[in-house]
Chains A and B, each alone.
Chain A
Amino acid sequence: MERAEEAEYIKRAKRGDKEAFAALINAHKTLVYNLALGILKDRQEAEDLTQEVFLRVYENLRFFRGESRFSVWLSKVTYNMALNRLKALNRLPIALEEENLMAASPLNEASNSPLAQIEEKERRKILREAFSRLPEIYQLPIMLRYIQGFSVSEVAEVLNLPEGTVKTRLARARNILKRKLARLRPEEL
C-alpha cells in the first residue's frame, strides 16, 4: 500500500469508516500476526493477539499523528502487547536467552559460503527455512529490517532497543543464516 493511499485510509478510519479500516487490516495483518507469532510461539495466541492489536489500534487511531510510519507504530503496539501477554502467561522474556545462544553460535567463524553457486530458487527455500528457525531475538530484527524494510532506527524504536544492539543482532543473525546457507541443503534442515 502506498503511503499516500494509506494516509487516506487512516484519515477515513479515524472518522469511523470500517471499510477503510478493513483495508488497513489487510495491508498489515501479516506483519502483526507474524510478530505476535515470533514472540508467543503459538498460533492461537498469535491470532487472538492480532485481533486485540487491531481493536486497540481502532480505538486509539486518533492518537496516531503520522510522525512515524503506520507500520512502525503498529509493530510497536504489537510488540508491547505481545510482551505483556507473555508475562501474563508466565513465560520467560526472550532477552534472557541471548548469551546462551551466542555461546552456541560463534560469531567469527569464517564463512565459506559459495552463495553464488546455489540456485536462486533453492537458496530462497533454504533461507526461508533457516529464517523460520532463527531464535526469536534474531528473527524479529531480521523480519522488521529485511522483510518489512524498516530502517535500523525504526527497528530499534519497535523493539525498544538501542540502535547498536539492533545492529549487533542483525549481524549475528546474518552470520547464522550465512552458515546455514553454506552448510545445508533443504533436506538437511
Chain B
Amino acid sequence: MECEQFKALIDDYLDGTLTQAEGEALKRHLAECGVCREEFDFVRMLASDLSEATLDDTPPRLTDRILERLPKARFVFPWGLSMGEVAITAATLIFAVIFSFLFAKYAPFDALSHTLNSFGIFTEKIMAVGASLNEQILALGQHPEPLIIIGILGLALGYVIWTEEDYGTNAASNSPKSLRRL
C-alpha cells in the first residue's frame, strides 16, 4: 500500500471502522513514515483545535423568534399520531364497517361457521353464534347512510389536515415521507 492509500484510511481509523488487519497495517506504516505521521497528527489536531467557537455566533433572540412562530397548541394522539392521520384511520375503519354490512348480506359468518363445521372444527353451538352475529350485522346495516356521510367527511377532513401537515413543501427531498427514512 502507498502513502495516499494509508492517508485515506486515517478517517476510517478514527471512526473505528477499519478491520483489525487494516488498523495494524496503518499503525506500522505510521511508525515508519514521517509524512503520513504528520497527516495523522494534523487530523487529530484539527479535531481538537476546531470547535464550535470556530463557527459564527447565531443572531440574538433566535430561539425566541422560532418559539414565537411555533403553532399555538398541537394535540398529539398516542404514538405521535397527528389529527390528520387519526381522521384518515377513523374514516377507513368506518368504511370497513360499511363494507362488512354490505358483505354480510351474503351471510359470510353463517357460511364460514357451516364450512368449519363440515370439517368438524366447530360445534353446532358455534354455528349458532355465527348465524346470530350475521343477523346483528345485517340489522345494523339497514341504515348505513349516516355512516357513509361520516366516513366521507372524515376522509375529506383527514386529507385537508394531512396536506397542511406537509408544511407547505413541494420539494421531494424535504417531504415528511423522506424525513421518515432517517
A128 is an interface residue with CB less than 8 A from chain B? yes
A39 is an interface residue with CB less than 8 A from chain B? no
Q: Determine the residue in chain B with the shortest Cβ distance to A76.
A: B182
- The 29 listed contacts between A and B (C-beta, < 8 Å) are A14-B76, A14-B80, A16-B75, A18-B70, A21-B67, A22-B67, A25-B63, A25-B67, A30-B52, A37-B56, A51-B62, A54-B66, A55-B70, A56-B167, A60-B176, A60-B179, A62-B80, A62-B82, A80-B174, A84-B174, A115-B42, A127-B46, A142-B46, A142-B50, A143-B55, A147-B52, A149-B47, A152-B15, A170-B11
Contacts of B76 in A (CB 8 A): 14-16, 62
Q: Knowing A29-B63, A115-B41, A174-B46 touch, does A77 contact B179 (C-beta < 8 A)? A: yes
Binds B, one of A1-9, A63-71, A91-99: A63-71
B58 is an interface residue with CB less than 8 A from chain A? yes
- The chain A residues found within 8 Å of chain B, CB to CB, are 14-16, 18, 21-22, 25-26, 29-30, 33-34, 37, 43, 47, 50-51, 54-56, 58-60, 62-65, 67-68, 72-73, 76-77, 80-81, 83-84, 111, 113, 115, 120, 123-124, 127-128, 131-132, 142-143, 145-147, 149, 151-153, 167, 170-171, 174, 177-178
Contacts of A64 in B (CB 8 A): 179, 182
- Whether B70 contacts A167 by the Cβ 8 Å rule is no
Q: Complex: how many Å from CA A50 to CA B56? A: 13
Q: How far is the CB of A29 from chain B (nearest CB, A)?
A: 5
Q: Determine the residue in chain A with the shortest Cβ distance to B182.
A: A73
Q: Knowing A55-B70, A73-B182, A123-B49 touch, does A152 contact B62 (C-beta < 8 A)? A: no
Q: Complex: how many Å from CA A63 to CA B42? A: 39
Q: How far is the CB of B170 from chain A (nearest CB, A)?
A: 9
Contacts of A152 in B (CB 8 A): 11-12, 15, 17
Q: Complex: how many Å from CA A149 to CA B51? A: 9
Q: How far is the CB of B49 from chain A (nearest CB, A)?
A: 5
- Whether A80 contacts B171 by the Cβ 8 Å rule is yes
- The chain B residues found within 8 Å of chain A, CB to CB, are 7-8, 11-12, 15, 17, 38-39, 41-43, 45-47, 49-59, 62-63, 65-67, 69-71, 73-76, 80-82, 165, 167, 169, 171, 173-174, 176, 179-180, 182
- Whether B51 contacts A58 by the Cβ 8 Å rule is no
Q: Determine the residue in chain B with the shortest Cβ distance to A147.
A: B50
Q: Complex: how many Å from CA A86 to CA B122? A: 68
Q: Knowing A60-B167, A63-B179, A64-B182 touch, does A30 contact B41 (C-beta < 8 A)? A: no
Q: Complex: how many Å from CA A77 to CA B182? A: 10
Q: How far is the CB of B11 from chain A (nearest CB, A)?
A: 5
- Whether A80 contacts B62 by the Cβ 8 Å rule is no
Q: Determine the residue in chain A with the shortest Cβ distance to B55.
A: A34
Contacts of B56 in A (CB 8 A): 33-34, 37, 43
* Cross-chain contact of A111 among B17, B38, B179 (Cβ < 8 A): B38
Identify 20 new A-B residue pairs, CB closer than 8 A, beyond the known A151-B17, A152-B11.
A21-B67, A21-B70, A47-B58, A47-B59, A55-B167, A56-B169, A59-B165, A59-B167, A60-B179, A62-B82, A63-B176, A67-B182, A73-B179, A73-B182, A84-B174, A120-B49, A127-B46, A131-B54, A153-B17, A171-B8
